[in-house]
Structure 1
Amino acid sequence: MQDAEYTFKIDVFTPDTLPMARLAKYLAALAELVGHTDSTHFVAIEAGSAKLVHKVEAPDVPKVERRLVDVAQGVGPKDAVRAFKTLDELLADDNAVAELSRSGAVLIPFPGRTRPRPLTFPAFKQVGTIDGQVVSVGGRDSSAHVILQDGGTTFSGCSLSRELARELAQHLYGSKVRLAGEGRWERHPDGNWKLLDFKVDRFEVLDDAGLIDVLSDLQSLEPFADLGTAFDDLMNFRVASEEIH
């Protein structure tokens, strides 16, 4: 088997109009798409539309062919599929389309500018609440700002009066709080929601007591004496579970 040459043809550029920095991004994504970087070599930019020609050494040609066929079907390795998306994003930003071919046969078409545009939704306001731990309180203007963290989620862009900020600062890195007010939200095409800003009207400190503590407190109340049996059963179950594990 001989070495194989592949051509990535971009319709809107010529060798004279393709910026070098942009060329570098295309070549980097192409290298990730092909995968076998040690045996893949850049050859030239051919005339006409910008044609990025690269060569794969003979021993790796079958593996590269299989990889490209899988990507074209949307079932390739994660890094190859990621590289395809990167290339298509570059093309869409450049208002271009492209194709990857070998010996004139198109292996992978890149829709670029012709792909369907994702739906966009305008930001909207809604009264509600957000929960989290206070990790920052500050601000130099007439209003103050607070940042909450709830696990891996961070809520920033929360504004409030200085008086309310002074009260909230007492709970810095303490128990979780619930901020109430009006937020402005944005929905992304992938279905996720992003909080753009939130105007805080009031807050409350959340009780972070555990289930055992809550049941213990309930057990001490006379009207709920029957909860003592339930509490003992829960504790026995907990001990048995720990012995099993």
Structure 2
Amino acid sequence: MSGMPASDEEATVKPVEYVFRIDVFQPDTLPMARLAEYLAALAKMFGHAEHTHFLGVEKGSAKLRTAVDAVDAPKVEARLNGVRIGDAPKDAMAGKLALEDLLANDNAVATLTEADTERMVVPFIGRNRPKALTFPPFREDTSIDGVLVKIGGKDPSAHATLQDGDVFHVGVTMRRELARELAQLLYGPTIRMFGNGRFERQAGGVWKMSDFRVDRYERLDERGVSDALAAMRVVPGNRLMDADSYRDVAAARDEDDAAG
């Protein structure tokens, strides 16, 4: 009947609303394309797309208002709590990272709050996040191992690719005279190339060798432990049967036999 107060059950179906506030924008200064990027990242962070809705941009600093249907509200709340402490699913954390990147590029910070209570749900540091340390590239003498899988080129220096398991060393250059020697070892034995590499620091602090200039090479001994021991036994004074040496050699031989 009209005029009757809402039941407790009806009161519980109210959606839960959140406000994502960006400090540097107003509703009339936030470009539509940028708004779309923020909404896409927010949707990824919230998850449960079928029950999460964009309500609009409020006045003041740009406040993106979102509503989560009651049916998924507890799941979204748990997900956002996980984002705050860094223990959310990968897609949720990826959404937060995308938001942080957008904010940093816009020289902005933001907050996600619960609309009714104004409780802080997730803070975003944006422009205030620590700047990544930058290091200049450097060159260093080093060596690389692997099987030669490509060699050639029309430049004055030849180019090669060396495969070491799942790793491919590219950007390998050398004199043409050296390349002619190495061409005979294409798809052949494991070799070790000695030379000078250029190292660059990648995102996440990982160093990567971007090019390698070869000076010389050598074929690696690919004999098993048993064959190597047989060759060593004929060397005078090899001391293979000393107690400590024998234990180490026996253990290596057992590992080699098990791998074979």
| Aligned equivalents of 2:154, 2:26: Cα separation in 1 | 52
**How many angstroms does 1:56 deviate by?**
0.8
Deviations 1:38-72 (A, max 9, x none): 21122223344333222211011111112111211
Are 2:23 and 1:11 aligned? yes
Find the structure with the greater CA-based Rg.
2
Q: Per the alignment, do residues 225 and 182 of structure 1 end up closer, same or farther by CA in structure 2, a change over 3 Å counting?
A: closer
Which runs of no fewer than 5 residues in structure 1 stay unpaired? none
Are 2:49 and 1:37 aligned? yes
- The answer (yes or no) to whether the contact 2:225–2:252 under 8 Å persists in 1 is no
One-letter code aligned to 2:81: V
SS in 1 for 2:204: coil
- Map of 2:62 onto structure 1: 50
Q: Per the alignment, do residues 236 and 116 of structure 1 end up closer, same or farther by CA in structure 2, a change over 3 Å counting?
A: closer
Task: State which of 72, 84, 91 in structure 2 corresponds to 1:72.
Answer: 84
TM-score, with structure 1 as normaliser: 0.82
Deviations 1:66-107 (A, max 9, x none): 211121122223332232222212222232222112213321
SS in 2 for 1:28: helix
Deviations 1:19-54 (A, max 9, x none): 444433322221221121221122223344333222
Q: Per the alignment, do residues 83 and 148 of structure 1 end up closer, same or farther by CA in structure 2, a change over 3 Å counting?
A: same
Task: State which of 117, 139, 151 in structure 1 corresponds to 2:153.
Answer: 139
Task: State which of 70, 73, 94 in structure 2 corresponds to 1:82.
Answer: 94
- Map of 2:140 onto structure 1: 126
One-letter code aligned to 1:162: R
SS in 1 for 2:170: strand
Which runs of no fewer than 5 residues in structure 2 stay unpaired? 1-11
Q: Per the alignment, do residues 226 and 72 of structure 1 end up closer, same or farther by CA in structure 2, a change over 3 Å counting?
A: closer
- Map of 2:5 onto structure 1: none
- The answer (yes or no) to whether the contact 2:19–2:114 under 8 Å persists in 1 is yes
One-letter code aligned to 1:7: V
Deviations 1:190-239 (A, max 9, x none): 342110221111111222223344335456x3857977xx7xx779968x
- Bigger shift: residues 155-164 or 145-154: 145-154
- Bigger shift: residues 79-88 or 12-21: 12-21
| Aligned equivalents of 1:142, 1:183: Cα separation in 2 | 19
| Aligned equivalents of 1:6, 1:39: Cα separation in 2 | 13
Are 2:170 and 1:156 aligned? yes
SS in 2 for 1:58: coil
SS in 1 for 2:72: helix
Give the 5 Å matches for 1:1-245: 1=12, 2-103=14-115, 104-188=118-202, 190-218=204-232, 221=234
TM-score, with structure 2 as normaliser: 0.78
- The answer (yes or no) to whether the contact 2:226–2:253 under 8 Å persists in 1 is no
| Aligned equivalents of 1:113, 1:225: Cα separation in 2 | 65
Q: Per the alignment, do residues 225 and 181 of structure 1 end up closer, same or farther by CA in structure 2, a change over 3 Å counting?
A: closer
| Aligned equivalents of 2:131, 2:252: Cα separation in 1 | 56
Q: Per the alignment, do residues 174 and 29 of structure 1 end up closer, same or farther by CA in structure 2, a change over 3 Å counting?
A: farther
| Aligned equivalents of 1:237, 1:166: Cα separation in 2 | 39
RMSD of aligned residue pairs (Cα, Å):
3.1
- Bigger shift: residues 188-197 or 121-130: 188-197
SS in 2 for 1:72: helix
